[in-house]
């Protein structure tokens, strides 16, 4: 993990779940952090906790569906720390429902957060990384980006898109020594199921998670492994799930 020390890492969706626990772990490894999320109080509290422990972190109010706010997050990191080494496109939602429920607002929000949010992150970070001739962009997909089931059509489509975007980016940024990765978790114990608005689906998924989900530090280890690799090693994709998860 020595290669994490001193790196400037920007995390979207940093107020809870994957983002929060990953930020805490990376800070312990010596990273400097720019934390973005809509919940200002939560990321400010997290930044204070990190700084009080001797780490370095800033909190920047960020709605990833707003490209200007995402750009401000990245630019704030560069202004504060002088560079950006890693962008973790972590913000995401999972409002599962069958298409026949016609939850069109959920569809729109899922596309805006899970696809546009990733693209806005890339758009904000890429100019800095091109100038530096270095950097790493890690985006969070899902097992649902590799498979499909009833109720997951839109969510799976967005998470498949994350993989496609990241692979396209990987091929394009070779001249700039930039690395890309996608991390695809299965059922991991976070508050992601809380974004499901269909009551029957929510109950089923929460029951599934209570029986199957593994601890969120499984995700943290995947991120830390990816970041810690030397500059000439480009880990492009990690797919993991609970041992007992079938799909």
Two structure tokens written together for 247: 């799909």
Give the pairing of strands 32-37 and 56-61.
parallel
For residue 207, the surrounding DSSP H or E stretch is: helix 199-212
The residue from 101, 155, 176, 209 that is catalytic is: 155
For residue 161, the surrounding DSSP H or E stretch is: helix 153-172
* 140 backbone φψ class: left, alpha, beta (φ>0; ψ -120 to 50): beta
Decide if 155 is catalytic. yes
Gap between the Cα atoms of 167 and 234, Å rounded: 12
Query: Beta strands of 112-177 (E only): which ranges?
Result: 135-140
Query: Are the CB atoms for 187 and 247 separated by under 8 Å?
Result: no
Q: Which residues form the catalytic set?
A: 155
């Amino acid at each position: 993990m020595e290669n994490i020390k001193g790196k400037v890492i920007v995390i979207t969706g940093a107020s809870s779940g994957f983002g929060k626990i990953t930020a805490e772990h990376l800070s312990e490894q010596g990273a400097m952090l720019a934390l973005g999320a809509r919940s200002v109080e939560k990321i400010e509290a997290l930044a204070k906790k990190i700084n009080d422990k001797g780490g370095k972190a800033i909190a920047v109010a960020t709605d990833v569906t707003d490209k200007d706010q995402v750009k401000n997050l990245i630019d704030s990191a560069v202004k504060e720390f002088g560079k950006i080494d890693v962008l973790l496109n972590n913000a995401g939602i999972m409002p599962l429902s069958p298409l026949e429920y016609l939850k069109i607002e959920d569809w729109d929000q899922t596309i805006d957060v899970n696809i546009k949010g990733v693209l806005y992150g890339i758009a904000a970070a890429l100019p800095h990384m091109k100038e530096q001739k270095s950097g790493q962009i890690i985006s969070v997909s899902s097992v649902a980006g590799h498979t499909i089931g009833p109720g997951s059509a839109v969510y799976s489509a967005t998470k498949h898109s994350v993989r496609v975007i990241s692979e396209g980016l990987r091929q394009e940024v070779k001249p700039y020594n930039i690395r890309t990765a996608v991390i695809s978790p299965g059922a991991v114990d976070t508050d992601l199921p809380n974004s499901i608005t269909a009551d029957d689906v929510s109950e089923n998924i929460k029951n599934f998670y209570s029986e199957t989900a593994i601890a969120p530090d499984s995700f943290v280890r995947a991120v830390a492994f990816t970041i810690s690799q030397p500059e000439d090693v480009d880990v492009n994709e990690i797919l993991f799930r609970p041992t007992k998860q079938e799909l």
